[in-house]
Amino acid sequence: MGLLVVGSIGVDYIETPFDKIDNALGGSTTYIALAASYFTGPISIVGVVGDDFNKDHIKMLEEHNIDLEGLQIVQGAKTFRYGCRYHYDLNVRDSLYTELNVFEKFNPIIPEKSRKSSFVILGNIAPLLQENVLSQLINPKFIVCDTMNYWIDRTKEELIKVLKKVNVLIINDSEARLLSNEPNLIKAARIISEMGPKYLVIKKGEHGALLFGDNTIFSAPAYPMENIFDPTGAGDAFAGGFTGYLNKNRDFTFDNLKRAVIYGSVMASFCVEKFSTKGLENLSFLEIHNRFIEFRELSSFN
Amino acid sequence: MGLLVVGSIGVDYIETPFDKIDNALGGSTTYIALAASYFTGPISIVGVVGDDFNKDHIKMLEEHNIDLEGLQIVQGAKTFRYGCRYHYDLNVRDSLYTELNVFEKFNPIIPEKSRKSSFVILGNIAPLLQENVLSQLINPKFIVCDTMNYWIDRTKEELIKVLKKVNVLIINDSEARLLSNEPNLIKAARIISEMGPKYLVIKKGEHGALLFGDNTIFSAPAYPMENIFDPTGAGDAFAGGFTGYLNKNRDFTFDNLKRAVIYGSVMASFCVEKFSTKGLENLSFLEIHNRFIEFRELSSFN
């Protein structure tokens, strides 16, 4: 059974202390779908680009068994563009420009055949758009949701409405603190869980991730990265690996969600090793499996 | 076989957002020895106090099978006193006062019977004093060392001399970055390991701890604390649990060091639940064991 991914698709300029790249493929949908594509398929994406969108990007996505029927290509319009520069401390970046272009009036239209999708991941877009997507679906069974500080600050009420309907919320630690208005992450998780999501994943970057649910907590380690080349998309790659793995086996026990968190971490670790989506374009299942084993060796004791 | 602990002993004033306490027992030696006392004994401590030092503190330490022969009590002088106030975010504290008193001229003298100690932990004191302690020992086999930003900033050369002789260095993440002059913790660990210590533990507070050695990394989770009452002494409690456990079974394989890191984390988690040393004064082995199991459940997956 397929997976539906809705979010942004864009073209990025990225500058790190090591190198820079322009006209690179970006957007939450892209990273999520690519990371998920190693676990399940076909993956249907819904998004919008302009007619300047590089055909090589389309070809690459299709080669990953990603169904682009829901990709609106607006003639005479430009794709969403974003530019940023990372500091020496890669946890900090400056936005250089944000040109919304076609994304400004994005109206997600779910293709007929995808309306029956039972498994959907809502990438980081406005909560009203996430709500709009959900309203087009016929009886979705499992909904994974991402968001960010921007939406928590500006559209908290709309976001909370969406949260009532989702099964898993994936956010980072600062977003969890902001959403709950509580500095202690364990307390914050309880407050957010009461907003609706049965499971909550809090990503902590170089410190790993926490999974909350079933009155249990799972602490996942971070992969020890000596050379982070480009942190862009790591959170989306995590969400893609997590959701793709769950979509494959549809086992929603806490034990299997723990494995999904590790597969999410695995995909994020591959993502940051190269520029843009390149770290997610040419992986083998053996590489992914071996890194999963490395995560286990990293954190096991008896 | 006993364990020798050398460090500071003091009297603390502690203010948190929840409560405050004055004339509380403090100092690195105290926390280390109490935490270690649940694993091994007798523990010999070497330190200095004034004649104002509370006899109840002495009694409590003795009840934990802590040998005080090496405790110098200087007549007519005052004990080291420290006062601090924690912010709402308990990761931040302001020092209110530091009165070194007898600690200013502390000259550690190792009692005759302790000079043959093969297992020693050097608490957070000046590197020259740590060196002084080591020079009095006859053939020490296993040396664990703590330090802090203050000594790295002011006495780096002396510290590096000590590091050549120690088996395990225990520091926190900001200290590791400062000592190595490298923001990436994995690279920082490699640089520090080259300074001498065969094993390195980097504590990351609410994010757990990392153990480096034998070309391997172990990532230990943090105990999910909803209510940290007083963070004072957590790092020393960690060092005490770690060293006490190792001293008990003298198994220096990486697998056993991993367990030691977890026992260190267990003792730190108990420490912060109450004011001053109170969280370490009345524990049962069952409580400690159960929390060890909780750490395993928190981080295991397959």
Give the tens place of pLDDT for each residue, A92-101: 899 999 999 9
Residue located via tokens 């990436």: B184
For residues B20 and B12, give the distance between their C-alpha atoms in angstroms, rounded to a whole number.
10
Q: Is A221 in Cβ contact with B224 (below 8 Å)?
A: no
Query: Average of pLDDT values for B249-255?
Result: 95
Confidence band (pLDDT; 50, 70, 90) for A150? very high
| Distances, alpha carbon B102 to alpha carbons B5, B11, B107, B108, B222, in Å | 18, 12, 10, 12, 36
pLDDT at A16 over 70: yes
d(CA A273, CA A229): 5
Chain A closest-CA separation from residue B92 CA (Å):
13
From the CB of residue B216, how many other CB atoms can be counted at a distance below 10 Å? 13
- pLDDT classification of A2: cutoffs 50, 70, 90: confident
In this prediction, residue B1 carries a pLDDT of 59
Q: Looking at beta carbons, which residues of chain A come within 8 Å of B226? A: 184, 186-187
Is the pLDDT confidence value at B278 over 90? Answer: yes
Q: What percent of chain A has pLDDT over 70?
A: 100
What pLDDT, on a 0 to 100 scale, did the predictor assign at position A1? Answer: 59
Using CA coordinates, name the residue in chain B closest to A300.
B300
Say if A86 is an interface residue toward chain B (CB within 8 Å): no
Total Cβ atoms within 10 A of residue A62 = 11
Beta strands B168-172 and B199-203, pairing class: parallel
Rounded Cα distance, B266 and B181, in Å: 30
Average pLDDT over every residue of B229-242: 96
User: Is the pTM above the cut of 0.90?
Assistant: yes
pLDDT at A94: 93
- Categorize the per-residue pLDDT at A227 as very low, low, confident or very high, splitting at 50, 70 and 90: confident
Confidence of residue A183 (pLDDT cuts 50, 70, 90): confident
Q: What was the pLDDT predicted at B281?
A: 98
Which of A172, A219, A256, A265 should one mutate to test binding to chain B, selecting the residue with the greatest count of B CBs within 10 A?
A219
Which residues lie closer than 8 Å to A253 by C-beta, 6 or more apart? none
H/E stretch holding B103 = none
Percent of chain B predicted with pLDDT > 70: 100
Task: Give residue B90's pLDDT.
Answer: 80
- Dist. CA A272–CA A228, nearest whole Å: 6
Sign of CA dihedral A126, A131, A135, A140: positive
pLDDT in tens, B204-227: 998 999 999 999 999 999 999 998
The overall average pLDDT reported for chain B is 95
CB half-sphere exposure, B59, CA atoms < 13 A: 3
8 Å CB contact of A300 and B298: no
pLDDT reading at A89 higher than 80? no
Which among A184, A269, A301 is the top mutation candidate for probing chain B, defined by the most B β-carbons within 10 Å of its own β-carbon? A301
CATH of B3-299, one of 3.40.605.10, 3.40.1190.20, 2.60.40.1180, 1.10.10.1100: 3.40.1190.20
**Amino acid B91: pLDDT:** 78
> To the nearest whole percent, how much of chain B has pLDDT over 90?
93
Find the CB nearest B298 among A184, A204, A219: A219
Q: What is the pLDDT of residues B8-35, one digit of tens each?
A: 999 999 999 889 999 999 999 999 999 9
Tens-place pLDDT, residues B125-176 = 999 999 999 999 999 999 999 999 999 999 999 999 999 999 999 999 999 9
Q: Which tokens in the block code for residue B190?
A: 């490699």
| C-alpha distances out from residue B21 to A39, A81, B15, B88, Å | 55, 56, 7, 17
Q: Give the model confidence (pLDDT) of A4-14 as tens digits.
A: 999 999 999 99
pLDDT at B2: 82
The better pLDDT of the pair A203, A92 is held by A203
Report phi then psi at A148, rounded to 5: -155, 170
Look up residue A230 and give its two tokens. 């480009």
**Are B296 and A301 an interchain contact pair (Cβ–Cβ within 8 Å)?**
yes
C-alpha–C-alpha distance, residues B45 and A224, integer Å = 37
